[in-house]
């Protein structure tokens, strides 16, 4: 039932993968003396973050009221690999994520309770990926399976990825295809639930369920332009079908009536992005990103970001960043009490309104050659902090910790 703005986590853009200018040495063709390698641990990552927001445009109460929310997210990622006698590297990546949030606005689904089940929830989301890479050419193919579960939402996902690298290693093409088959519990605001005479309403009554399926594709091409400049072009179309409205969000009309949010059951999205990374010598990198987004609900958005990692020493760097975004709202949006009763689709969710936002902060990264705290394999620690301000008055802060064992 999590309804908040974790999409800002995606604002942390990683550095574009660099491609070697020279070809790697070819594997020996004589494999008669080959001995199978044991499964090798490539790296282990642990990421923990704390997110807090506040605002006064809760969609649960029709576009007014508190948006206060806190979330603690933890992700554990393990990568292991094995090289076979044909020179192919099989990499297995297992990820387990656990988020727990508390939400004052979600608690208003049934304001008659002291603290309903909606006021807090935990999401668990494991995934497993297998990728087979040709160590000589760099070409790869892979598959992913995933799951996600929380109180009112379950999801099963599957994905396919393909990588092709040019002979000179300066151009890389990536293709990804993902499908997510989701099931929602249809939870209505308490006053809109059907209750027969003499019956008792319980929050844990059996809810009806409704499907929502999402199909995402990603096409990207990365190019090493010269020793200082790298570019990446990304096209990520997606299509959704099913229950796309959040039914426990209220909408108030000009005749003072109230209804549950209603939106079309289909949506097509098309983001197009470009990243440019410019290396200013050995100590400074300019990472820039621009994305244009459009969908058939009427949103058109522009996003621009600049991050400047600065290497202070061989094992310490800082990375200040700034992101600006603006969008036009969907054609179905109206503030509290301004929807007309004749409308077929309606929402008062300010995520879908006209808005602009600023997100800025910095990261610090430690990677001493002898490891952290005397542990050789604990080779990286990164702390990041970001502050988010939106024109709708929503404000949030996020801090994250990343530990890498390699």
For 255-269, give the DSSP string.
Answer: TS-EEE-B--SEEEE
Tell me whether residue 271 is exposed, middle or buried, using C-beta atoms within 10 angstroms of its C-beta: 0 to 12, 13 to 18, 19 or more: middle
**Eight-class DSSP state of 331:** T
Per-residue pLDDT of the chain (406 residues; tens, 9 = 90+): 444 433 433 333 333 333 233 333 333 333 444 445 678 899 999 999 999 999 999 999 999 999 999 999 999 999 999 998 888 999 999 999 999 999 877 778 877 664 444 478 899 999 999 999 998 999 999 999 999 999 889 999 999 999 999 999 999 999 999 999 999 899 899 889 874 333 334 444 457 888 999 999 999 999 999 999 999 999 999 999 999 999 999 999 999 999 999 999 999 999 999 999 999 988 999 999 999 999 999 999 999 999 999 999 989 999 999 999 999 999 999 999 999 999 999 999 999 999 999 999 999 999 988 888 778 788 899 999 999 999 999 999 999 999 999 8
Beta bridge partners of residue 77, listed in sequence order: 45, 95
Which pLDDT belongs to residue 113? 60
SS3 call for 278: strand
Residue 261: closest CA among 208, 205, 336: 336
Domains of the chain (ranges, CATH numbers): 135-194+206-405 (2.40.170.20)
Residue 194's alpha-carbon distances to 47, 114, 158, 201, 206, in angstroms, are 43, 22, 37, 9, 13
Beta bridge partners of residue 210, listed in sequence order: 184
User: Distance between CA 84 and CA 39 in Å, rounded?
Assistant: 10
For 167-195, give the DSSP string.
Answer: TTSSEEEEEEEEEEEEEEE----GGGS--
Which pLDDT belongs to residue 327? 98
- For residues 63 and 394, the answer to whether their CB atoms sit within 8 Å is no
Which pLDDT belongs to residue 104? 79
Beta bridge partners of residue 404, listed in sequence order: 45, 380
Can you give the pTM of this predicted structure? Answer: 0.85
SS3 call for 9: helix
User: Distance between CA 401 and CA 15 in Å, rounded?
Assistant: 18
User: Distance between CA 337 and CA 342 in Å, rounded?
Assistant: 14
Cβ-count burial 343-352 (b if 16+ within 10 Å, e if not): eebbbbbbbb
User: Distance between CA 132 and CA 88 in Å, rounded?
Assistant: 6
Which pLDDT belongs to residue 111? 73
- For residues 287 and 15, the answer to whether their CB atoms sit within 8 Å is yes
User: Distance between CA 394 and CA 51 in Å, rounded?
Assistant: 13
- For residues 5 and 394, the answer to whether their CB atoms sit within 8 Å is yes
Which pLDDT belongs to residue 373? 78
């Amino acid at each position: 039932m999590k309804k908040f703005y974790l999409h800002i986590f995606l604002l942390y853009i990683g550095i574009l993968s660099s491609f070697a200018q020279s070809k790697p040495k070819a594997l020996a063709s004589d494999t008669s003396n080959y001995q199978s390698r044991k499964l090798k641990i490539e790296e282990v990552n642990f990421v923990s973050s704390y997110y807090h927001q506040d605002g006064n445009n809760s969609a649960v109460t029709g576009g007014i009221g508190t948006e206060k929310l806190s979330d603690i997210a933890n992700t554990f990622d393990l990568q292991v690999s094995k090289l076979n006698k044909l020179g192919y590297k099989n990499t297995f990546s297992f990820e387990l994520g656990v988020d727990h949030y508390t939400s004052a606005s979600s608690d208003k689904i049934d304001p008659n309770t002291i603290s309903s089940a909606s006021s807090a929830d935990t999401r668990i989301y494991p995934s497993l990926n297998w990728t087979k890479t040709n160590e000589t050419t760099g070409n790869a193919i892979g598959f992913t399976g995933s799951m996600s579960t929380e109180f009112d939402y379950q999801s099963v996902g599957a994905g396919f990825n393909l990588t092709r690298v040019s002979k000179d290693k300066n151009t890389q093409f990536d293709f990804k295809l993902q499908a997510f088959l989701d099931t929602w519990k249809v939870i209505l605001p308490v006053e809109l639930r059907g209750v027969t005479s003499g019956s008792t309403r319980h929050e844990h009554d059996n809810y009806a369920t409704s499907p929502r399926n999402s199909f995402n594709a990603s096409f990207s091409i990365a190019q090493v332009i010269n020793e200082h400049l790298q570019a990446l072009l990304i096209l990520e179309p997606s299509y959704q079908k099913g229950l796309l409205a959040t039914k426990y969000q209220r909408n108030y009309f000009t005749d003072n009536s109230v209804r549950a949010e209603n939106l079309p059951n289909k949506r097509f999205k098309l983001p197009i992005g470009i990243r440019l990374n410019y290396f200013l010598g050995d100590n400074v990198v300019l990472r820039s990103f621009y994305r244009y987004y459009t969908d058939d609900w009427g949103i058109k958005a522009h996003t621009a970001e600049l991050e400047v990692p600065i290497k202070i020493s061989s094992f310490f760097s800082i990375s200040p960043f700034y992101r600006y975004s603006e969008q036009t709202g969907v054609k179905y949006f109206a503030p509290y009490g301004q929807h007309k009763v004749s409308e077929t689709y309606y929402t008062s969710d300010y995520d879908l309104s006209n808005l602009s936002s600023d997100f800025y902060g910095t990261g610090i990264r430690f990677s001493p050659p002898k490891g952290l705290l005397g542990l050789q394999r604990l080779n990286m620690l990164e702390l990041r902090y970001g502050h988010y301000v939106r024109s709708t008055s929503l404000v949030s802060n996020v801090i994250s910790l990343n530990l890498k064992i390699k």
